[in-house]
Structure 1
Amino acid sequence: MNHDSYTDYYLADILRETKVIALVGASPNPERPSNRVMAFLLRKGYRVIPVNPGQAGKQIHGQTVYARLADIPEPIDMVDVFRAAVALPGLVDEVLALDPLPKAIWGQLSVRDDAAARRAEAAGIKVVMDRCPAIEYPRLVG
């Protein structure tokens, strides 16, 4: 897939089908984008599970933080990535080890690695990179 642009349908379909989001790189700091996006997604009715090894066992926005994706005790629909782009290949490795696999990986603004995306897509996972669901949701879903 060409990750230079996405159809509105592709993005809206992911946002509508998603119910449970693992937010990797979640921060308890209200000034951080990951914290604000997590609050937005919670307000929109998503179940958002924060992932941050330095915060594991604590809570962000009333949600228990997990150290790794593998520690989450329920299936995930989407992995929202607030990490540097260089972390995406390793994160795709973690995602591919999950059972069941999530339906989508969503890389936040500036998070892009085309080779990692191809590996996820080869496993049947939809990939969005360099986009923010908190920007796309109001535009596409309402």
Structure 2
Amino acid sequence: MEDAALRAYLERARTIAVLGAHKDPSRPAHYVPKYLWERGYRILPVNPRFAGEELFGERVAASLGEVSESVDLLDVFRPPSALMAHLEEILALRPGLVWLQSGIRHPAFEEALRGAGIPVVADRCLMVEHKRLFRGALPLP
């Protein structure tokens, strides 16, 4: 996805579901959604391990099937081998965009989403890209 389209999408987005959200502040699945939450996005955390607990001011859902509201962006922190198990729930949720975090790629999964009309960004960190698009590139030392 081109920078201009990505920037426009992130400007319009309000609600981000985070599949694999984590409580440990040292993990990307915590500090990336925390960064986004601090910038005004509503974060809907999803992780069966922490279901019912609170993260980012919201109750953690056990699965995407429990998310009953509109989701502008789904941020995924799951290993590639686990992605196909979530496909049916993602297709039912119909997020406006699926974002696979750094190191996460699965061509068949990505193609299934695109085939259903859901755009995908793969193997990129949403926090890094948000900073780059909205605060300019970080200067090199």
Normalising by structure 2, we get a TM-score of 0.89
| Secondary structure of 2:124's aligned partner | coil
- What's the CA shift string for 1:34-91, capped at 9, x where partnerless? 1101110001111100000011100113221000111012111111001111112222
Q: Percent identity?
A: 39
Please, which moves more after superposition, 84-93 or 122-131? 84-93
Equivalences, count = 135
For residues 1-142 of structure 1, the aligned pairs below 5 Å read: 6-98=1-93, 101-142=94-135
**What is the TM-score of this pair, normalised by structure 1?**
0.89
Query: 8 Å contact 2:18–2:33 — kept in the other structure?
Result: yes
Q: CA RMSD in A?
A: 1.3
How many Å separate the matches in 1 of 2:88 and 2:68?
18
Deviation at 1:135, TM superposition (A): 0.3
Moved over 3 A (4+): none
Please, which runs of 5 or more residues in structure 2 have no aligned partner? 136-141
- Structure 1, gaps ≥5 residues long: 1-5
Aligned residue identity for 1:67: A
